[in-house]
Structure 1
């Protein structure tokens, strides 16, 4: 499937036999970065292990053969194209198709295929959130513009923001559509910090792997191993900074809101203090490598420099 998609994008030629996938929305084939072809729901469905021959040629994908057990290929097959979100020069995939996207844990389940109305809501909220990041939090905009490739819709839970990243999936963020553009901007900034640190973990050894102790962190009820504690500190340093910037904007911008500014400032101070405590705990472990020590010290300087 990946080879066919890559061939189509480079306008090459390739013919392969592709396994059919059974899923909650039907049986078909998935072509990463392009879309999904589903067999008709009311037609004959091939048995387990069925395949279909697919041809990529000159930038196009076509079925070049027959599905065993379904002869000839039925009409009424459905093509579901991979959707994209676009705003102010940033274009990212809205991936509600990939069969491997459900990797964020039991409490962060992938959302089924979005309706057109739901996809429209994502586009509107994304455009608003990205505009806010560029205007209010520009220090984070360049990295997101360069590295964010995919948003994976997650199933929402009432009254709770849901978001996640996965180390092997650089540039992808899973999240349930939040209520406001402010919430979306915060989630994108927070999760992209995780994405950057995942990449750094791939490049450098920051900790002694023999250190298996667990450290308390203020953003989770369960103590975390040092690498996970650093992940949280790195992301929540950005959260504290966003609250700080929001406090300034709320206090001085149009529609000034003194109460909102005080609340934002209090949130910034709370997260800043939590980050400092975790970074100090990491420094006290003695298990940081020279690279890790350099990073954690730099983060602590940045956290200390934030306005209280």
Structure 2
């Protein structure tokens, strides 16, 4: 993705799993550059295969592209926020991998919705009619309008208000407000058919239970299901989120800040059994998919663990850390899995578990944290510290890592060794 390796200090900072600003800036800028590259790749694909795209889908895509360009000239910050939102990455991945045909056409029209969302958040005057299959109009990262079966909706945005209703102009309308003081083009809404995306307390992280691209079909074995907005207990999620953030602040304030800034969306999954489950999508860094947690410590650990899967996936896209493996590539046993893992899986698991080891190391020394959390952290640190040591030995001895990957693993090893004092303190 990049033509030259990053400053060694950046790679070393990221390898420690610590929330260093230099690493965060590198990942943010790299993520945005990649989104722009993928968007341009989609445009090139459309241009090369114009004859294979249905004319209505092509017109909608091109109208969306022009609107996005217009909005970018007026509010580049808002366009960047829309493009960098986690589910935009999932949409791009789906569109770029879909074969030409009806499915590809359906993905293409989503660009128009992204452009409309950016225009509305950016305060632009808009008067247009958009398709709303099934009477549902998603506004990614904002909410959706449910128009009761109307296939087309008119959007009339002027000054500080936005009215969305039937294409003929009649009937009841959802109304969105663009407060003058709202940061980054924040919208508020109300009225018939409006269903707004809810934020979690104390920041900008959204409880993402609306976006059609929040969960790919057939994810996991068995397949997972995304919780529907109507069935999501927002108060319960908000309470668990607040408790988890408080626990992180008491343990490691920098880590708590990183979670608040880097987790852009929490996607509720339908529970299956009593065990809490967390997951990430490599195409949608910044989104944490999870079932309701059992408590504050459970959610805090899931957020830290999954965030580091996102960080490493983004880094690998920018600076390849390992070579693509095939069926003949070697697999290895690691302490946290029963099935053998390829080197890519070993690296991902080692990185996420090193972040947890770092968290538990600090919990054992933080003043004022609950006693059960300190005891739990000390116990889990012992196990995971050994497991990460075994995984690092595999990585450092592997010939499947790139030169950057070998240096990354070496720096991970240095940080892992620095945590060994945590073990001596508990013996």
Q: TM-score range by the shorter chain?
A: 0.7 to 0.9
Q: Would the aligned equivalents of 1:125 and 1:184 in 2 still touch at CA under 8 Å?
A: yes
* Counterpart mapping for 1:111-150 below 5 A: 111-114=227-230, 118-150=233-265
Tell whether 2:284 aligns with 1:169: yes
1:1-308 pair list within 5 angstroms: 1-22=113-134, 27-40=135-148, 45=149, 50-63=151-164, 65-66=166-167, 73=171, 77-87=192-202, 90-103=203-216, 104-105=219-220, 106-114=222-230, 118-210=233-325, 212-248=329-365, 256=371, 264-306=377-419, 307-308=422-423
CA distances 1:176-212 after superposition (whole Å, capped 9, x unpaired)? 1212111111111111111211210121011122563
Contact 1:95 1:152 in 2 (8 A): yes
Structure 2 CA distance, aligned partners of 1:9 and 1:200? 29
In the superposition, the TM-score normalised over structure 2's length comes to: 0.61
Pick the structure with more strand per residue.
1
Q: Distance in 1 between matches of 2:157 and 2:334?
A: 50
State the superposition RMSD in angstroms: 2.7
Q: TM-score, normalised by structure 1?
A: 0.82
Relative distance call for 1:181 and 1:191 in structure 2 (3 A) is same
Q: 1:54 to 1:210 in 2, by over 3 A?
A: same
C-alpha displacement of 1:65 = 4.8
Task: Indicate the structure whose relative CO is greater, using CA pairs within 8 Å and at least 6 residues apart.
Answer: 2
- Unmatched 5+ stretches in structure 1: none
In the alignment, structure 2 segments of 5+ residues that lack a partner are 1-112, 174-190
Alignment check: 8 A CA contact 2:247 2:369 kept: no
Equivalent-residue separation in structure 1 for 2:160 and 2:118 (angstroms): 10
Structure 1 pair 59–218 and aligned structure 2 pair: CA distance change class (3 A)? farther
2:346–2:391 contact (8 Å) kept in structure 1: yes
| Alpha-carbon distance in 2 for matches of 1:121, 1:170 | 24
Higher share of residues assigned helix: 2
Q: Whole-Å Cα distance in 2 between the matches of residues 300 and 265 of structure 1?
A: 20
